[in-house]
Copies of this chain bind each other. A is one copy, B any other.
Amino acid sequence: MTQPLDIAVVGATGSVGETLVQILEELAFPVATLHLLASMESAGSSVMFAGKTIKVREVDSFDFAQVKLAFFAASPAVSRSFANKAQQAGCTVIDLSGGLDDALAVVPEANADSIANLKLPARLASPGSAAVALAVALAPLKGLLDIERVQVMASLAVSAQGREAVNELARQTAELLNARPLEPRFFDRQVAFNLLAQVGAVDEQGHAGLERRLVSELRELLGQPELKISVTCIQVPVFFGDSFSVAVQSRKPVDLVAVNAALESADSVELVERDDYPTPVGDAVGQDVVYVGRVRHGVDDDQQLNLWLTTDNLRKGAALNAVQVAQLLIKHRL
Contact = CB atoms under 8 A, between A and B. Distances in A.
Contact of A228 (B190, B236, B296, B300): B300
Contacts of A190: 279, 281-282
B298 A230 contact: yes
Contacts of A212: 299
A198 B310 CA distance: 13
11 contacts: A153-B232, A155-B195, A155-B234, A193-B281, A195-B243, A198-B294, A202-B296, A228-B300, A230-B247, A232-B245, A232-B247
Nearest to A174: B177
A222 to B, nearest CB: 15
A281 B245 contact: no
Interface of A: 151, 153, 155, 169-170, 173-174, 177, 189-190, 193-198, 201-202, 205-207, 211-212, 215, 228-232, 234, 236-239, 243, 245, 247, 274-275, 277-282, 293-301, 304, 306, 308, 310
A190 B155 CA distance: 17
Nearest to A298: B230
Closest 8 CB pairs of A and B: A206-B296, A197-B277, A194-B281, A153-B153, A230-B298, A197-B308, A198-B277, A232-B245
Main secondary structure, interface of A, reads mixed
Given A245-B232, A279-B189, A295 B173 contact: no
Given A177-B170, A247-B230, A293 B197 contact: yes
Question: Quick one: copies of this chain in the complex?
Answer: 2
A297 B205 contact: yes
B298 A228 contact: yes
Contact of A299 (B170, B197, B230, B281): B230
B299 A207 contact: yes
A308 B177 contact: no
Contacts of A298: 228, 230
Contact of A173 (B173, B196, B198, B306): B173
Nearest to A206: B296
Given A173-B173, A194-B281, A274-B206, A232 B294 contact: yes
Contacts of A195: 155, 236, 238, 243, 279-280, 310
